[in-house]
Structure 1
Amino acid sequence: MSSGNSEYFDPRTWQLIDIFDRLFAGSCNTRLIAMGDEPVYYPADDAFAYHRLVFRHDYFSSALHEISHWCIAGPERREQVDFGYWYQPDGRTEAQQQAFEQVEVKPQALEWMLSNAAGHRFRISADNLSGGIGASEAFVEAVAQQARYWCDMPMPTRAAQLAEALVESFGGTNYSQPHQYDVARL
């Protein structure tokens, strides 16, 4: 399991780890790991026989966000560190922020849906605090539009499995109702 001082660890996060491991440790050889300094995905290697999806500290939102990336990543991407994605850290320029927003629409839409399933508040993230550039209106609308799309069309299979388990465990809302994904709700 994960390391860290359980005295300060959000018990809902432990529950999320248990749900994820129950669903995917055996079927996908992937474990959800808390207490990372930075979120990252590591495919299995010589040191670890399983894939590791690491999230920051004990942050429930960080776990849901990293899970969202994992649910979207195809088999080839799941064989690469951090799914082979480009990442420019905090302090991005406007052009770098636009590139960031393009690749974050689907993960953040899925995170919003999983948050609803878990009864957890979702906050859109520009992930660019020191750059002084927040989430663009177009990005926020694209995230909402993608979430509404997945209400009408099948969402990624692993995400649907997890969302159902989150509703059962946490009693969240019915995540598949398009009206829940209005930007006014953010």
Structure 2
Amino acid sequence: MSQTSEHHYERLIEIFKRCFSEDYNTILVAGDDEPYYQPSAEEGEPHKVVFAHGFFASALHETAHWCIAGEARRKLFDYGYWYEPDGRNEAQQKSFEQVEQKPQALEWLFSLCCGFPFQVSVDNLNGVEVDRQAFSSKVAAQLSRLLEENTIPPRAAKFAKALCDDFNCSWPNPPNS
């Protein structure tokens, strides 16, 4: 998906900086390869949320993971998670999708808040065949719950509202409403 000047990752980097650099000493960084989270190694050095290949969608996705991670997780490289690579079997894929529902729901929220198209990511091109529609429905249901119950994590709500303001978008309604 090509980026327009309106949906350029540098805009997200600036919005993230305004929202979180002072209170959390954390910055969003365009990476060259795989995304990851790097806690600071030295006092005063910023923590880094690194997204893949300068992709706008990757920046939204990695921000969603950061917005969910608790304080203890934010002290660990990549939040202390071990990533099961492409080529997952059915059980591994189900586990992946379970863990990814909430971050992808937040990514969808962020996408709506800046007028950017959203597609779920199943991340398993060389593994078991994935029911993308079923996973998309689960992510939509998760987003609907977050919006209807007003249970969006505080950092995610702050970022989403900043996106709405910066991109001149209205606060979104739940999917399928």
TM-score when normalising by structure 1: 0.85
In 1: Cα distance, 2:53 partner to 2:9 partner: 10
Q: Which residue of 2 aligns with 1:66?
A: 62
Q: Which residue of 2 aligns with 1:35?
A: 31
Q: Deviations over 1:79-118 (max 9, x none)?
A: 1111112211111111111110110010000000000001
1:139, distance to aligned residue in structure 2 (A) = 2.7
**Which residues of structure 1 form unaligned runs of 5+?**
1-7
Match of 2:165 among 168, 175, 185: 168
Distance 1:90 1:48, change over 3 A: farther
**Which residues of structure 2 form unaligned runs of 5+?**
none
2:130 is equivalent to residue 134 of structure 1: yes
1:19-168 paired onto structure 2 within 5 Å: 19-46=15-42, 49-152=45-148, 153-168=150-165
TM-score when normalising by structure 2: 0.90
1:117–1:167 CA contact under 8 A, matched in 2: yes
In 2: Cα distance, 1:128 partner to 1:147 partner: 22
Distance 1:36 1:172, change over 3 A: farther
1:15, distance to aligned residue in structure 2 (A) = 0.8
Extract structure 1 runs of 4+ deviating beyond 3 A: 8-11, 135-138
State which drifts further: 70-79 or 85-94: 85-94
State which drifts further: 42-51 or 106-115: 42-51
Name the Cα RMSD after superposition.
2.1
Q: Deviations over 1:36-90 (max 9, x none)?
A: 3100001111398111000011100000000000001110111111111221111
In 1: Cα distance, 2:3 partner to 2:112 partner: 21
1:119–1:173 CA contact under 8 A, matched in 2: no
What is the aligned length?
A: 173
